[in-house]
Structure 1
Amino acid sequence: MRWILNELAPDLTIRQAGPDDHPACAAVFLAAYRQAFPLHPPEYYVPERYFESITGEEQWVALQDGRIIAVLSVYWPENFIHSLYVDPAVQGRGIGRRLLAAALARAKGVCELKCDKANKRAVSFYKHLGWREVGEGMAETGPWVRLRK
């Protein structure tokens, strides 16, 4: 399944990721993660962190000019959006919103996600899109909030 979006990014393509996409997905993940959580030591930002995080999940990507610029990982048995990362160079252009909308269109029922509270930009992004807080907890990265839509 593929969507061509014409609103904010006229040449944006969204599709399910395949194994050949994983290195580019890891690069986007690391760039966005480094921006969102800059306090980790440099050795924390390694591609293996991405590969470990996607086990059992389905990945979707947004491409522009044939290049992966955003990645979303979802665990369908629980309708759980595990991660959404957009290349920092193109953030704020509606790409993450469109990738998330594509995933939500495939969901059967309510979706949830967790977001580190320290990532205030992401929490604000989800709330702006109508996600609401339904819980909170603590992880090794600090407190998080559970959101539902």
Structure 2
Amino acid sequence: MSKEDVVIRDYREADRPFLRTLYLSARKTGWTWLDNRRWRLEDFDSATFDEKIVVAEIQGRIAGFASLWLPDSFLHNLFVDPAWQRRGVASALLAACYPLCRGTMALKCLQENVGAQRFYLHHGWKIISSGVSEHGKYYLMHRRLRHD
């Protein structure tokens, strides 16, 4: 599969049921160090409330999504269906987010999520500081956008 096979489009309300499942599944698969017993499908709704959501499709099937809090150019979520990981989906989603933001983009990456850290560092993000959230220690990461 090539990056050309990944189509990025705007979120549609009809995507919600599948994206709820994807969000829950991807967190359970990827965040194994956390207690997931209280996680629910509806968590997607609160995690993306009032955010810009873009969806990645491959051959008409949803493979991932990203959500942005546009007022702060903050990448809040980027999740790929475990079945489609390591196939360019996350890179395509990230690339689609850049033109939607201005100045410097920011995100928080859990320190336990070493794979995500490597991904963002590979894509030009820099660790700016660290902190603690309800999910544990995180790095605040920034990426200066070139189109400003």
| TM-score under structure 2 length normalisation | 0.90
Partner of 2:138: 144
Instruction: Indicate the percent of aligned positions where both proteins have the same amino acid.
Output: 31
1:113-149 Cα offsets, whole Å, 9 max, x none, are: 0011011100111001110011110012110001000
Quick one: structure 1 residues 19 and 131, their matched pair in 2 at CA, closer, same or farther if it must change by over 3 Å? same
Partner of 2:87: 93
Partner of 2:121: 127
CA shift at 1:13, angstroms? 1.1
- Which secondary structure does the structure 2 equivalent of 1:33 belong to? helix
Count of residues paired in the alignment: 143
CA shift at 1:36, angstroms? 1.5
Question: Take 1:145 and 1:40, find their aligned partners in 2: how far apart are those partners?
Answer: 17
2:15 to 18, 21, 38: 21
Question: Take 2:64 and 2:119, find their aligned partners in 1: how far apart are those partners?
Answer: 15
Partner of 2:41: 47
Partner of 1:84: 78
Quick one: structure 1 residues 124 and 45, their matched pair in 2 at CA, closer, same or farther if it must change by over 3 Å? same
1:106 to 100, 106, 111: 100
Q: Which 4+ stretches in 1 moved above 6 angstroms?
A: none
1:31 to 25, 28, 38: 25
Please tell me the root mean square deviation across aligned C-alpha atoms, in Å: 1.5
CA shift at 1:40, angstroms? 4.0
1:56 matches 2:50: yes
- Which secondary structure does the structure 2 equivalent of 1:111 belong to? strand
CA shift at 1:94, angstroms? 1.1
1:69 matches 2:60: no
CA shift at 1:9, angstroms? 3.6
List runs of 5+ in structure 2 lacking aligned partners: 144-148
CA shift at 1:39, angstroms? 4.0
Question: Take 1:124 and 1:11, find their aligned partners in 2: how far apart are those partners?
Answer: 24
- Which secondary structure does the structure 1 equivalent of 2:137 belong to? strand
